Amino acid sequence: MEPQESREKGGARGKNPRLSRDSFAHDVCSARFEPGDPAGSRGPRLGQELDDAEIRRFVTVLRGFDETALDAYVSSMLRKGITADRFLVELAAPAAREIGEDWADDRCDFVDVTLATGRLQRIVRSLGGQIPSEEPIAEGGRPVLLLASPSGQSHTLGMLMVAEFFQAASWSVCFGAPFELTPTPDLVASRFVHVVGLSLSLTDGVGQVKEEIRRIRRRSRNPAVGVIVGGPALLFQPDLVDAVGADAASVDARLAPEVARAFF
């Protein structure tokens, strides 16, 4: 079985690969959004693709100061038939990249980014509970995923989003850096992990990431541990999976659990 996910069509907008501006792990209250009801909702349906204009509208609402308007926007999209997983992958993730690009290009300030990221994290936590759960994939206990960012990189929002999809797929998820100060090689040496997922936010530092993956394999209690990479950097350099010596890559959080099945 070839574990590496096929490349998604379409690339990221902008040219600046330093998009890891969402490293603000706020503990914010969860909102309650009304789930979609395709049979009873009114108004025009959205097509299969959520276009750039819709993403930009969402970013505008995120950067506003009206929490009620934000909750109403999310609920309206769900009523139009956009599922929770589509909202997270096709709206929330591109919105995070858009906000990162705005900051990199000085179109917004630190406060704007911090507030918008906190709101995005609130949405991720809320909608994560609406992702359809799968049956356990093993009788002997759930497989274990460790999510982390390599040293010097941080992509907390994306990691939280990926965690929601893995938990819905009956995986046990634990976190390394930047949520945990213990280096990832030390974590895999102290507990049995089936798959390590590394979120890459920068395209530079390939040698450092490659060496960290070598240390993970060398110290892991699981000699067959799988290493999957994801994150914004792969949108700019899809061949990073080979350059850093990982086993597979996933740029779509919905498909990541299926990619990880190859290593369990």
Rounded to whole angstroms, the Cα distance separating 171 from 138 reads 10
- pLDDT, position 81: 87
Cα 208 to Cα 228: distance, rounded to the nearest angstrom: 16
Tokens at 199, concatenated: 């979120």
Dihedral angle, C-alpha 149, 178, 175, 103, nearest 10 °: -70
- At residue 106, the 3 state secondary structure works out as coil
According to DSSP, the residues that pair with 248 across neighbouring strands are 228
pTM to 2 decimal places:
0.65
Q: From CA 260, how far away is CA 20, in angstroms rounded?
A: 24
Q: Which two tokens stand for residue 216?
A: 């993970």
For residue 75, what pLDDT is reported? 92
Q: Is the C-alpha dihedral spanning 251, 58, 18, 11 positive or negative?
A: positive
Task: Yes or no: say if 59 and 24 are a contact pair by the CB < 8 Å rule.
Answer: no
Adjacent-strand bridge partners of 230: 199
Two tokens, residue 183: 């280096």
pLDDT of res. 155: 63
Q: How many helices and strands (H and E) does the chain possess?
A: 11, 5
| Spans of the chain below 70 pLDDT | 1-49, 132-140, 154-155
Give residue 102's pLDDT: 79
Residue type, position 123, single letter: I
Yes or no: domain 144-263 corresponds to CATH 3.40.50.280 = yes
| The pLDDT of residue 203 | 79
Domain boundaries, the chain: 144-263
Q: Any idea what the Cα angle at residue 169 is, between residues 2 and 258, rounded to 5°?
A: 10
For residue 221, the model assigns a pLDDT of 95
Report how far residue 86's alpha carbon sits from residue 246's, in angstroms, rounded to the nearest whole number.
Answer: 27
